[in-house]
Copies of this chain bind each other. A is one copy, B any other.
């Protein structure tokens, strides 16, 4: 069996290729279209995911692959690579800097490698099981609140935009409650919000009604940094699982899980 380190090394190479493609498509210009769920896809998303799938298949022919654009390959494999080639395609198209490539490797459903690569910010965050979470050479550790902590509303948290709370069925009242309880919230709505939960930019990041590929790297990154990652809701439709999660400083994650009505 290969080591987590060698899987991580491979993941970095795969992420390098995605970034080159995204940057070069961005420079050359791209075409875009609306998908069935009314989200946008560009040739950058498709080209990056295609190259990733080629790379995984060449290096790990027995592994499975799940990607936002091209679905599931080898569903019964023990190892499964998951990719969102551009998380935040609308932000990419509009020149907002938070779009990112999200890559995760899972062994029988457990995350073992995660990368979030942000081309516009020239930053990469990565983690592997037991090896810690890093940005470049710098290891990242999440500082929890001190004991006796109670949420006060002074915390910086990340919320997805209100629309995310009622797609796939209505929960907009959860947004309204959280926005009211945490009046210093921010809303950026890409995997950059997972990165900021990791680095302390946000005390916690809430994500609502996401697909598996959107969260492919978050859990391993946060947990390897000593943070907490908690699933708030889990449902399913014909396109697969729909997940709502909170991640960040453990005491605040627990408080938010309670506010969001999860025991």
Binding site for B on A (CB under 8 A): 90-91, 94-97, 121, 156, 159, 161-164, 166, 172, 175-176, 179-180, 183-189, 196, 199-202
| Closest CB in chain B relative to A142 CB, distance in Å | 13
A179 and B175 contact, Cβ closer than 8 Å, known pairs A96-B196, A97-B121, A201-B96: yes
| Closest CB in chain B relative to A100 CB, distance in Å | 13
| Closest CB in chain B relative to A232 CB, distance in Å | 19
Contact yes or no, A185 B200, CB < 8 A: no
Residues of B within 8 A of A184 (CB): 90, 161, 163
Contact yes or no, B156 A180, CB < 8 A: no
Contact yes or no, B161 A185, CB < 8 A: yes
Contact yes or no, A161 B186, CB < 8 A: yes
Contact yes or no, A90 B156, CB < 8 A: yes
CA distance A164 to B182 in the complex (A): 11
CA distance A196 to B96 in the complex (A): 7
CA distance A90 to B156 in the complex (A): 9
| Closest CB in chain B relative to A134 CB, distance in Å | 15
Given contacts A159-B187, A166-B183, 19 further A-B contacts (CB under 8 A): A90-B184, A94-B201, A94-B202, A95-B200, A95-B201, A96-B196, A96-B201, A97-B97, A97-B121, A161-B186, A162-B180, A162-B185, A164-B183, A172-B180, A175-B179, A176-B179, A179-B179, A185-B187, A186-B189
Contact yes or no, A188 B188, CB < 8 A: yes
| Closest CB in chain B relative to A123 CB, distance in Å | 9
For A157, give the chain B residue with the smallest CB separation: B161
CA distance A156 to B187 in the complex (A): 12
Residues of B within 8 A of A202 (CB): 94
For A158, give the chain B residue with the smallest CB separation: B187
For A187, give the chain B residue with the smallest CB separation: B187
CA distance A185 to B121 in the complex (A): 22
| Closest CB in chain B relative to A180 CB, distance in Å | 6
CA distance A29 to B201 in the complex (A): 17
